Structure 1
């Protein structure tokens, strides 16, 4: 029968062994290859950056040497004298000295193509080619263009035949496409003066720059760009194979403002190019080194293949060891399987089950057959016990049935608690008490209302662990309450209440530590007969109602909190009146404070829970009536609460709950509605005042007159108008009259005196003085300036 079973567990064991062995090999090989590849790339990049910086140093050494020679030359008195001299045949000595100086600053190793000295004032230019007038010189356009530059000393690329030649537009295509014939070093003369009368221009050939950036390695190319990202050397070779492939690199550098050097990669002709760049602090040129990333990573590929071969060899070894080891580990399981199948249930052998599943099912059938009936009896017994206690608390069980059920659930064994109900036992008298636990609030906890049932069962489990089994019945859940009938064999009720109080403290402490909940506990008066549990349950609920006075996490014994007699206290009318006044004035902070004072006042004065409910109901009715008499729709937010108002009042457990509920659902909506109506009324008053001004500005208007027409006090009208418009009534009226005066001056032929009279000025001079003060001109001048004939 075992031969028909598939060895699926052995296959899984083999695969697991392979997986455990291969994960480290693959991870180690991959990390080694990636680290080696990264290390190779970093070393090559560092090497390329060093070579690029060496190239930059060589180029700048030549440029700076040439600039130093030129600076020394132009600092001589000969150059200074020549700039002030118009050349003639009589000045051949001075001319020879200038030419001699030019020859000295052009050594062969610097690759200087030519040096030009030009006088703008005396119209001559001198170079290696000799002397010529500036107007007839072939480079006159270049010299004039350089003379316009704001810089007194600068380097610039020279592109022959480009139209602008030396000064190329940074966005121009021609200057970007053409490779310059060289670069110019330009210095305006005299060197230490702001006003230039001449300039000197030295030209270094592009061939010299090409030699300075010559690359010994074929896999690397170097390119120089000027500060406007124009190429100064050729950029076509083994890496950049076509013209213009360098442009994406230039754009990426342009997008990194302030970068002095760096490294990045980009795609060109389906090839990944690695770029190192550095920016010269000397003249702002950019030096770029291009290298193919494939060439850089060529050495790392051999490392990758070597790592792969080592990993494959390790995998073969792990496969062999896993095969042998899993076979040996599987043999004991195979033997146990044969025993389990031979002694299992009759029928066809299982074909698609794991070996351990077959063994487990065989063992499970044996245990199930022994414990199934016992478990079922225990479950049903527990359900019946809970059902019995609920009926007992609800007063729905007869005394005869009570005795039978107590015997069935084993409550009378080893104790004398039922002596009062069953005198035939001959045991001493005992006491009972009902302890009810309620959750104070789910606010600021991680629970929601739908979790109440589960929380009640959790509290029941906590109660079961904290109260010994011989001191209680089974805890049950009644609606939103966890209820436990406690019992004592001692006849002293005072000691029993002390014991119950300690139990309640333990339950409170554990509920807060384990569940993060604050709970209150109500304890009934101890009673001798188990049949009085129904009345005791009501007492525990009544005790919990007095949380209004004691706050959250209270332990309330009915004998302590229940008032012996009802006392009639005076209703705090003055607090209610002040509360209504604060609502009318829109003072939310004061209203909240008065609510707090009202809640603490009634809790201190009214001992009976029923009296407290009556006071809260009266406060609610008075507030709603005040809102309706004042024309407010205060009841609008209340229906969304989903239940009758009196039900909400009964759920208020503390002074803070009273304050919060009344403020959020009654007081605050009334204040918001009043403020909204005030804003609308003020807006209408302001709009009506503006309308009167705009229509009757030419009459003797005063704020008192307008207030009387609107039936409001003048001071109130002034305050509203200033708040709504940001200006006083008189200022706005004067400004509007001024605007009308300006309009009449431009559009009509009315005399200034007529305008002043129509705008209610006593005489024209007062009008003219006000007009001049506001417009800084007289009315007549304003008319002449703005009137269009």
Structure 2
């Protein structure tokens, strides 16, 4: 055993009067005893402390005076020994700190590696998305930038989705009012577009600007004005009555709903909202607008009929003037429909104009004017009905009812011109001269331009794909017209059939290749889509009276 560990330190025990009881002699001197005399323990705890020995210059005296017996226990230790023990304790603490630091370093390294794995995976995935792959040491910054980029992309995509959802709703409702959807499709698209299916009554409102004349606006402002009026409508009509609003054919179409079954209450609110809309448009935009209201209906499938009713109601503003609020039931009997024969003769007249059949067109016009006169109550009604028919025919033939406004004469408006017509004979003569003939001419010009465009596109396809199986079906897939229509238009415009044109164009190429290239006859035949060289030679001989080889020899002959 180590001798230093077996060494007994000097000690001494003193009684209450500081008389030695037991211990080593000479441990404490008089000076130390004097200091101990002043030490008094408290009743609750012992008194203890350290005294530097005066007798032994290199020792420290550690004492403890008992509160119970007032005995004093003294232990002496040399300063060098205490310094040595303190140094050992210091080294032990140092080594312990080193060990703890090493362990903490290992643990920190392992924990850091474990925590860094997801960060590294994120960084690697970010680097795969980047176009540049150089290494960066700010990995967290790179990840943060990518997250910001993804967040921006998400917001942008969300904005696009919201805007497109509005466009999809508009498209669905436009198809609905055009009568293009079946009832089952309507239910499916209502759910798909996120529209409400909770209503008890519905109504279609159509809002139209009366005129831009004598206002501060022009035609370029029309769509912007419709947008402004649409915003006004959305602010005026409460959300619980607004089903959807969209623009169609230079008008604003509003589908309104009501959650109560009271028709009178619904109509009262409709008229109040309509009057408020007209008032706000006049106040803020200085515009006169007319509003047409359809009959109240229950099923969404009746939207097409309701739209027609609201548009028909707007047509009556010619009788009542601008800023009109027109409800279809106030203008027509509940079950009134346009005379069947009028619609039939109008379709016949439209078809005759498109086909260029002047005789049939005049016959249909004569019958149409007779039917209009029989179905109208007054001369004014007759003329207004004629005006509507002209606008409908112009829209069907030229695609726009605005074209009818050009049929006016002597600088007067079309309406004034029609109102001044007095007899049926005069009306028929005016219609033939100022409507029928110009309309047919303009349709023919439009058709000619269309034919020229189609024929030019077909020729471009043939010249670009001559080395492929070019057919009418091939052109139909590219131009989105039926093969029969392309065939008819091409022959009418070029004076030659489609197949003959293809054959002639390939023959032209064959002659050029025979004359100016070293391609063999079989290579030319294969490239020009002939099944074999015999067919090619046979067609070439038929058209040129000589074989391809003879043509090449003759063309390349020095005596030629």
TM-score by length of 1: 0.26
Select the structure with the greater relative contact order (CA < 8 A; seq sep ≥ 6): 1
**Alignment TM-score, normalising by the size of structure 2:** 0.37
